[in-house]
Amino acid sequence: MSNGVVFVHSGWRCSSTYIWHRFRAAPNVRAYYEPWHEQLAGVTAETIRAETPANSGLRHPGGSEPYLKEFEVVLDENGGVQRFDASFALDRFWIEPEASDLAQQAYVERLIEAARIRGETPVLACCRTLGRAGWLKKRFGGFHIVLVRDPVQQWLSFYSLRRRPRPTYFELCHYVLLSEMAVWRDAARQILGRAFDGSGALSQRLAAVRRALKRRPATLSFQAFLAVWLASHLKALPYADLVIDVDRLARDQAYAREIEAAIAAGCGVRPDFSDCRAPAPHGVAPPIEWRKAARAVVDAMGLHEAIVGVDAHPILFRKLAPAFAALPPARAGVLARVGEMLAGVAGGAALARLQTKFRRA
């Protein structure tokens, strides 16, 4: 059993809102939504009430209840959430577990305290914490959940939100995160085709990558996303108390019950995932050579062994298999389902053969 704080780490468009929504519905829980989102620096009671899943346009569950309702008790009288700074959003996304960040630490302590003094379990669910999962676990302990989704479908979810042939906010954030990966600086420059200085506020860095990359082909957006997907999961998975395959959660009721029980055993809260449903595979996709694009990223980052080596986490290759199989999304979904039926988390005989082939390549 953890010390009573729960962290849910994920990327964008990875069912994190659904998971957060189900934690929120559990009794005696204060589930904070996106507690590292830059907008928290300026929110007010009025803006909190105005933004709901129903009017967001993001296909989120939750109806008309405000996303940020739980933050009302930690609002500063002059606006913004107490102790939060907009720089927390992405500036130290890649922070090492041993690093010091007293301001960010004080902010998280305030959220935890606000829940505990009300007799509630604090749950912090965010799309901006995969890279700092180790830092959070070292500072706060707790029960850490990592969500993983098929990266092709996850990226296509970004793409489906484009209102014109220009990158979405989610895509721009991945450009920024990739450009600021110190460990893979050379790989980032190779993928992006140039370097960015990383200075200025997040809004300025988003504007810089937008200006430079907005007309680049969709393949670049997918590759930038995949590089961040790989790097962030490699940082987070060693600190996970529980890894949830969100694709499987939606279509395997027995697996969903196992996950509910594992969460209850780990933190004392039992969310109900019985209404989890898998979205249909995105039918509209740009002309990307998935296997070629994915392999180029893996080669640039030197991650061959991290994905297929003896010590690799099995979920990484299983989720990358559709891209490496060069299958369209609908067929990739079928392959993943067959793999699950054949061999659970190992991915099945078909995926095992593909993994062996990739290991030899």
For the chain (361 residues), the mean pLDDT of every run of 10, in chain order, is 86 93 97 97 93 68 82 95 97 97 98 98 98 98 97 91 86 97 95 93 96 95 97 98 96 96 98 87 81 94 92 91 60 42 36 47 51
> According to the model, what pLDDT value does residue 62 have?
65
Closest by CA to 139, choosing from 177, 107, 115, is 107
CA of 47: how far to CAs of 57, 72, 77, in Å?
Answer: 16, 11, 14
Q: Is 202 exposed, middle or buried (0-12, 13-18, 19+ CB in 10 A)?
A: middle
Helix and strand numbers, DSSP H then E, in the chain: 17, 5
Strands 242-245 and 121-126: unpaired
Are 249 and 15 in contact, with CB atoms under 8 Å apart? Answer: yes
- pLDDT on residue 57: 58
Q: Which residues pair with 268 in a beta bridge?
A: none
Hey, is 134 helix, strand or coil? Answer: helix
| Residue pair 26/118 in contact by the 8 Å Cβ criterion | no
- Terminal alpha carbon distance of the chain: 43
Q: Residue 60: what pLDDT?
A: 58
- Bridge partners (DSSP) of residue 143 are 6
Q: Which pLDDT does position 350 carry in this prediction?
A: 41
CA distances from 2 to 27, 94, 295 (A): 18, 24, 38
Give the integer Cα–Cα distance in Å for 87 and 82.
14
Helix, strand, or coil (residue 292): helix
Question: At CB < 8 A and 24+ separation, what contacts does 115-121 make?
Answer: 115/30, 116/4, 118/30, 118/73, 119/28, 120/28, 120/29, 120/30, 121/4, 121/5, 121/6, 121/28, 121/29, 121/30, 121/267, 121/268, 121/269
- The phi and psi torsions of 85 (rounded to 5 degrees) equal -125, 140
Record the pTM. 0.88
Structure token digits, residue 266: 């780990």
Tell me, what's the pLDDT at 89?
A: 96
Phi, psi of 65 (to 5 degrees): -80, 130
Place of tokens 């697996």: 255
